């Protein structure tokens, strides 16, 4: 496995707290919690009582909602 592949795998598995996720997405923590309650929009990881979000899932969420400008 190359160094680049190792870095990509590490980034894919990197976990963020709900507070960090809300800051990355620039949304209120309450919105993130509501989505989680209804299992909408974002996958999450439960470790005991802790909730974590994969950085790759947050990035994918933003990428899917990015609107490209029209080409003239």
CATH number for the domain that contains residue 40: 1.10.10
Q: Does residue 69 lie in a domain region?
A: no
Read off the pLDDT band of 49 (50, 70, 90).
very high
> Quick one: angle between helices 55-64 and 18-25, nearest 10?
30
The CA distances from residue 48 to 5, 45, 51, 52, 66, in Å, are 30, 10, 8, 10, 33
Q: Give the model confidence (pLDDT) of 2-48 as tens digits.
A: 777 766 666 667 899 999 999 999 999 999 999 999 998 899 999 99
User: In sequence order, which residues have a C-beta less than 8 Å from that of residue 11 and are 6 or more positions away?
Assistant: 55, 56
Q: Is the pTM of this model over 0.85?
A: no
The residue range of the domain holding 31 is 3-63
Q: Does residue 27 lie in a domain region?
A: yes
Q: Does residue 21 lie in a domain region?
A: yes
């Amino acid at each position: 496995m190359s160094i680049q592949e190792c870095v990509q795998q590490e980034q894919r598995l990197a976990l963020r707290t709900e507070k960090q996720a809300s800051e990355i997405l620039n949304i209120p923590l309450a919105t993130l919690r509501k989505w989680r309650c209804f299992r909408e929009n974002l996958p999450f990881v439960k470790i005991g009582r802790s909730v974590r979000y994969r950085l790759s899932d947050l990035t994918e969420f933003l990428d899917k909602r990015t609107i490209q400008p029209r080409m003239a």
